[in-house]
Chains A and B, each alone.
Chain A
């Protein structure tokens, strides 16, 4: 019983455990639901999965099912990011615990009942619970924003290496706070529109409306909602990676105000799509520039720091170019997290800008279904790139070392990028090949994409299996991670007690004996904190 309790504590009370559960569930959903589309349909695997699981798949409900599937996965990803934020951004321990508990119950409820409703018969109680789950996720977001409030003096920074205002307000914390508030507003943007479901709003996939000259306000709101939510997930991920890599000094000081500005402008511009669509697009581009530039500064910083530290470890004072490159590549997780941000520009941002600029000449000469494929490919690549970055961070966080770290990192970098590159070439095929001659290219790019994604999924499965086996051991990694988490919690508690005692001492007129007693208590707690 104790063994189960301990593991339960690991899963739901430590950041690593919480993150592992969320990643495992997303992996499981990806594995099972991934078998319902693409080559799995051709190979007959979809039919087997449907039969074995008892799914009910009516053709007219496909769009609705997909929307609920996206939301189920998105809630888990949001929860994952929130766990990381509450772990790396200073806040009170009870705040961290409350936020994590609320969002965990929220995303699990939304995921379980959302998928149940969508794929296993339409019990509307489950739909209600899906909404309850999402509401809890939203509520945890409010708690997170409150906990991140950057203008509390205790969170002010004085270290000149980190971006802050003249009064000491931590601009990185402001960036996290801005992202959290923007996410809450953007979630509301989608939720309010969703409330019209069955009452003037009919289910649709945004990619099916690409060439509709007139879109309703509800349709525009949904399109805006999905774009801004993924953008904000990207921003949150970048900020977390910045924390991980200890982003600081001059580039940090430039990047943080840019990230805050970018987040605000792009969010407001997306909200403005409903009333002012033609103008809003211009401001979306304007907002994207500072946000992306801030990410670029993080990449530049990391690609200087990682090799510098490695060369120092190796005792090389003056490295040549190849030594520097080798030093940069020595850690595929830290390099990979930032490389994927660069690679994203080749497969998502750069391609997206190119498409937008040459829309009439390149995209609008194709049938809309082809433009749709291009857009959905673009969209899936962006989501998957973000997922790989999160995986790199998590793999480092749980202490992946040595050869396993190398294999895990490089396999994901190479094979995910192979898949993304193949999908990008597939998307842009009309620029260099006619439709009549495209089949060999289509088949090859599809095959490469499948190989790339399948390998990433196998690596992920191996990673999950390793952690599953670890859970069977009494003193596995999970146990040390739990102990570490408990120590961190105890230390935070002790810090809080010291602060409370200080406040108490300052407010009371104490006798000498009482003062001595208090000092002893403070000293003991101080020792506990330092331990």
Chain B
């Protein structure tokens, strides 16, 4: 008898557990943050403390860094231009573009990347916030100023290259995120729930989306109050937003002996400790995900 009770308890818990998390079709309203995605911040030359162990590292040139991640609107506009100029191709399932390939050394686990066409974004994934009507691309309503996601490293690089910019190196990214005082988060030493969008941060979008995490508009954590949700102003020392949480950001380095490309910043789907500025993530350049975006730099 008691075994039956235990079995019933387990089944009940599983049913309750499963029912607590339903997929939602809710679309967030357009939330204007007041932060302009077309602005750039200057990061001056000089030394900074890099990595977990704070090694002094020199960047001996100034560079400009996008104040926010590239948004869905910006990427849709780019796709329309790139399509017109013929730098990308559309298939039934994806957008592709040419990449000249990497030097292959045959190292353990290294995958050869030869010159050829590579995927930029998938067109069939439910997570894509860009629509294609057979003629042009546009951002989905409500997601216009959210970061572009489901973009491969090739797709991110192609965007920056198209405008004669480039993806930041890891060093450039980390300096832009933490400045020169060795802080662990762009805004300082502590992570509060309303500093950034991360796993179970209970932000406004999470509430709107029935508890499921989703991207927040770029520059969302700027001290504004949205409805009754108060954010903390959380820029980096150079005034750059979303350098921790929301989406991982592709960086441009191509390292020897491996095909992986590195990402920085942590995302909406990660626990807070992943938002520390030195945390690295990586994936193959063809990887795309709902928690991965990018931004560009210019010299």
Residues of chain A at the chain B interface (Cβ within 8 Å): 37, 39, 41-42, 58-60, 62-63, 202-204, 208, 211, 213-214, 278, 359-360, 364-369, 406, 410-411, 414, 418, 434-437, 439-441, 443-444, 447-448, 451
Contacts and interface: CB of A to CB of B under 8 A. Distances in A.
A63 B52 contact: yes
B17 A444 contact: yes
Contacts of A208: 280
Contact of B22 (A202, A440, A447): A440
6 contacts: A41-B271, A368-B283, A441-B21, A444-B20, A444-B21, A451-B17
Nearest to B263: A367
Interface string B27-60: 0000000000000000000000000111000000
A213 B248 contact: no
Interface string B124-159: 011100000000000000000000001000000000
B126 A436 contact: yes
B212 to A, nearest CB: 5
Contacts, number: 117
Given A41-B272, A443-B20, A211 B127 contact: no
Given A41-B272, A202-B53, A369 B22 contact: no
Contacts of B14: 448
B259 to A, nearest CB: 10
B177 interface: no
B184 interface: yes
B281 A368 contact: yes
B290 A435 contact: yes
A367 B258 contact: no
A332 to B, nearest CB: 10
Interface in B167-223: 182, 184-185, 189, 191, 199-200, 202, 211-213
A447 B17 CA distance: 6
Contacts of A414: 6, 10
A367 B289 contact: yes
Nearest to B272: A41
A213 B185 contact: no
Contact of A367 (B17, B191, B292): B292
A302 B260 CA distance: 48
B249 interface: no
Contacts of B101: none
Given A63-B52, A211-B260, A369 B108 contact: no
Contacts of B21: 439-441, 443-444, 447
B283 to A, nearest CB: 4
Nearest to B107: A213
Contacts of A439: 21, 23, 212-213
Given A41-B271, A364-B109, A366-B287, 14 more contacts: A59-B185, A60-B54, A62-B276, A202-B52, A208-B280, A211-B109, A367-B282, A369-B281, A411-B6, A434-B127, A435-B289, A435-B291, A440-B212, A447-B21
B13 interface: yes
B23 A436 contact: no
A214 B257 CA distance: 9
A213 B258 contact: yes
B195 to A, nearest CB: 13
B283 A434 contact: no
Contacts of B200: 39, 41-42
Contacts of B271: 37, 41
A59 B276 contact: yes
A368 B280 CA distance: 9
Nearest to A422: B17
A436 B290 contact: yes
A448 B13 contact: yes
Contacts of A440: 18, 21-23, 212
Nearest to B270: A369
Interface string B250-266: 00000001101001000
Contacts of B20: 443-444, 447
